[in-house]
């Protein structure tokens, strides 16, 4: 019986940023569990990527090209994704995001706006669009991609940290609104993952060894490390799990945060 709880056969899903990096790992997990998936991605080759992923995953995948920082494109792209899925949506995985590692004093407000637009505003709009469908049908799973910076401030990450902190609160707020309607809203908080977004960090001769030494698992995360959590939060196995932000980080969050026995406050470990 427990195995059936994780079966996504017949489920309809949208994964934003699903063509590469974390989104690809998420989409792979959903496809392997039986879901039909639309990859909503800025890449002009997303259709071909989806076709290849569908073949390897054994289930149908579609690609819809969209720049989620352009508000005018987003509703039409969402409607097209739902149409490709036969008019139903069971799972929305908001994963698309960007980072600008410049220090605050060097970060133009235009760059701040672009990060917030993709990492937060587009997520809100997609949650709203999906929520209308899911609340009406009485079921659904929304999973947002946060970060370790949903909990801590990070370094040279003002816009990114602000957006990911807001994702945690948005997730909790929507969960409060929609849990009684059968819609679960959760978030994952990936740690240091071996993706293109972190390529510059991995090339840093000072920070890379410092970061690597802080991961209790002894390695950076891979796309395969997202398969299990993606399937869990998208399946019936998580029907009583909502409003959570779950670290997927090789244990680094447990190392960084501790509870003070004196005043019950959170303290960050250096």
* Residue numbers annotated as active site: 160
Q: Where are the alpha helices (DSSP H) in 105-239?
A: 109-116, 122-137, 158-178, 199-202, 207-213, 227-234
**Cross-strand bridge partners of residue 40:** 16, 64
Largest Cα–Cα separation, the chain: 57
Question: Which residues, 6 or more positions from 124, have their beta carbon under 8 angstroms from its beta carbon?
Answer: 170
CA-atom Rg of the chain in angstroms: 18
Cα 204 to Cα 207: distance, rounded to the nearest angstrom = 6
- Compute the Cα dihedral for 21, 24, 30, 36 and give only its sign: positive
Host H or E run for residue 83: helix 74-84
């Amino acid at each position: 019986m427990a195995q059936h709880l994780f079966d996504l056969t017949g489920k309809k899903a949208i994964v934003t940023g699903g063509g590469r990096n974390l989104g690809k790992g998420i989409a792979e997990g959903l496809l392997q569990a039986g879901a039909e998936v639309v990859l909503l991605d800025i890449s002009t080759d997303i259709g071909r990527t989806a076709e290849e992923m569908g073949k390897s995953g054994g289930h149908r995948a579609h690609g819809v090209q969209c720049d989620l920082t352009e508000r005018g494109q987003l509703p039409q792209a969402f409607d097209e994704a739902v149409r490709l899925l036969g008019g139903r949506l069971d799972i929305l995985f908001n994963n698309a995001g960007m980072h600008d590692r410049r220090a605050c004093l060097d970060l133009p407000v235009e760059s701040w706006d672009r990060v917030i637009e993709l990492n937060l505003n587009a997520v809100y709009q997609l949650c709203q669009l999906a929520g209308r469908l899911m609340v009406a049908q009485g079921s659904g799973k929304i999973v947002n991609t946060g970060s370790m910076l949903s909990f801590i401030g990070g370094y040279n990450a003002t816009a990114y940290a602000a957006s990911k902190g807001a994702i945690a609160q948005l997730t909790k707020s929507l969960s409060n609104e929609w849990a009684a309607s059968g819609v679960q809203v959760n978030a994952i908080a990936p740690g240091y993952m071996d993706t293109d977004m972190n390529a510059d960090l991995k090339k840093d001769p000072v920070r890379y060894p410092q970061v690597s030494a802080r991961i209790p698992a002894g390695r950076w995360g891979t796309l395969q490390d997202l398969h299990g959590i993606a399937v869990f939060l998208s399946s019936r196995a998580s029907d009583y799990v909502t409003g959570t932000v779950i670290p997927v980080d090789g244990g680094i969050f447990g190392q960084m945060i501790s509870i003070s026995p004196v005043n019950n406050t959170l303290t960050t470990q250096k």
